[in-house]
Chain A
Amino acid sequence: MSIKVLRPGLLTSIQDLGRYGYQKHGVIVSGAMDSYSLRMANLLVGNKEDQAVLEITLVGPALLIEKDILLAITGGDLSPTVGGKPIPMYRPVFLKKGCILQFGARKSGCRSYLAIAGGYNISEVMRSASTYLRAGLGGFEGRALQVDDVLQLKDPQEKNASLLRQLASSSSASSYVSTKWFLGRSHIPQEGEPVKIRVMRGRQFEQFSGDSKDAFWNCPFQVSSQSDRMGYRLSGTALKLAEPLEMISEAVSLGTVQVPPDGNPIILLADRQTVGGYPKIAQVALVDVAVVAQLKPGSKICFQEISLREAERLYLIREQEIQTLQRAIRLKMQ
Chain B
Amino acid sequence: MLTIDDIREIIKLVDQSSIQQFQLEQGATKISIGKNAVVTPAQPILDEVHGAKTNKEAAVTATVPGRLAEELVVADKQEELYKITAPMVGTFYAAPEPGAAAFVKIGEKITLNTVVCVLEVMKLFNEVEAQVNGEIVEILVKDGEFVEYGQPLFLVKIR
Q: Is B64 an interface residue (CB 8 A)?
A: no
Main secondary structure of the interface of A (DSSP, over half): helix
Contact with A along B1-13 (1 / 0, CB 8 A): 0001000000000
Number of B residues contacting the other chain (C-beta, 8 Å)? Answer: 13
Q: Is B97 an interface residue (CB 8 A)?
A: yes
CB of B28 within 8 A of CB of A184, answer no
CB of A184 within 8 A of CB of B122, answer no
CB of B124 within 8 A of CB of A321, answer no
Interfacial residues, chain B to chain A (CB-CB below 8 A): 4, 28, 97, 99, 120-127, 129
Q: Of A185, A190, A320, A325, which is within 8 A of B124 by CB? A: A325
In the complex, which residue of chain A has the Cβ closest to the Cβ of B127? Answer: A180
Question: With contacts defined as CB atoms under 8 Å apart, how many contacts are there between chain A and chain B in the complex?
Answer: 35
Number of A residues contacting the other chain (C-beta, 8 Å)? Answer: 16
Contact with B along A288-327 (1 / 0, CB 8 A): 0000000000000000000000000000000011001101
Question: How far is A109 from B1 in the complex, measured between Cα atoms in Å?
Answer: 35
Question: How far is A33 from B99 in the complex, measured between Cα atoms in Å?
Answer: 26
Expressed in whole angstroms, the minimum distance between the Cβ of B88 and any Cβ of chain A is: 10
Can you offer 29 A-B residue contacts whose CB atoms are under 8 A? A180-B126, A180-B127, A180-B129, A181-B124, A181-B126, A181-B127, A182-B124, A182-B127, A183-B123, A183-B124, A183-B125, A184-B120, A184-B123, A184-B125, A185-B97, A190-B99, A320-B28, A321-B123, A324-B122, A325-B122, A325-B124, A327-B4, A327-B122, A328-B121, A328-B123, A328-B124, A329-B124, A331-B4, A332-B124
**In the complex, which residues of chain A have a beta carbon less than 8 angstroms from the beta carbon of B28?**
320
Question: How far is A329 from B4 in the complex, measured between Cα atoms in Å?
Answer: 13
CB of A184 within 8 A of CB of B127, answer no
With A180-B127, A331-B4 known, 8 other A-B pairs at CB within 8 A are A181-B124, A182-B127, A183-B124, A324-B122, A325-B122, A325-B123, A328-B122, A328-B124
Interfacial residues, chain A to chain B (CB-CB below 8 A): 180-185, 190, 320-321, 324-325, 327-329, 331-332
**In the complex, which residues of chain B have a beta carbon less than 8 angstroms from the beta carbon of A183?**
123-125
**In the complex, which residues of chain B have a beta carbon less than 8 angstroms from the beta carbon of A325?**
122-124
**In the complex, which residues of chain B have a beta carbon less than 8 angstroms from the beta carbon of A184?**
97, 120, 123, 125
Expressed in whole angstroms, the minimum distance between the Cβ of A241 and any Cβ of chain B is: 41
Question: How far is A184 from B122 in the complex, measured between Cα atoms in Å?
Answer: 11
Question: How far is A185 from B100 in the complex, measured between Cα atoms in Å?
Answer: 12
Question: How far is A320 from B27 in the complex, measured between Cα atoms in Å?
Answer: 12
**In the complex, which residues of chain B have a beta carbon less than 8 angstroms from the beta carbon of A181?**
124-127
In the complex, which residue of chain A has the Cβ closest to the Cβ of B27? Answer: A320
**In the complex, which residues of chain A have a beta carbon less than 8 angstroms from the beta carbon of B126?**
180-181
Q: Of B4, B99, B122, B125, which is within 8 A of A182 by CB? A: B125
Question: How far is A180 from B87 in the complex, measured between Cα atoms in Å?
Answer: 12
**In the complex, which residues of chain A have a beta carbon less than 8 angstroms from the beta carbon of B97?**
184-185
Question: How far is A329 from B125 in the complex, measured between Cα atoms in Å?
Answer: 11
**In the complex, which residues of chain A have a beta carbon less than 8 angstroms from the beta carbon of B124?**
181-183, 325, 328-329, 332
**In the complex, which residues of chain A have a beta carbon less than 8 angstroms from the beta carbon of B120?**
184
Question: How far is A324 from B127 in the complex, measured between Cα atoms in Å?
Answer: 19
Question: How far is A65 from B124 in the complex, measured between Cα atoms in Å?
Answer: 28
Expressed in whole angstroms, the minimum distance between the Cβ of A27 and any Cβ of chain B is: 35
Expressed in whole angstroms, the minimum distance between the Cβ of B2 and any Cβ of chain A is: 11
**In the complex, which residues of chain B have a beta carbon less than 8 angstroms from the beta carbon of A185?**
97
Expressed in whole angstroms, the minimum distance between the Cβ of A5 and any Cβ of chain B is: 31
Question: How far is A158 from B147 in the complex, measured between Cα atoms in Å?
Answer: 34
With a 10 A CB-CB cut-off, give which of A184, A321, A327 has the most chain B CB atoms. A184
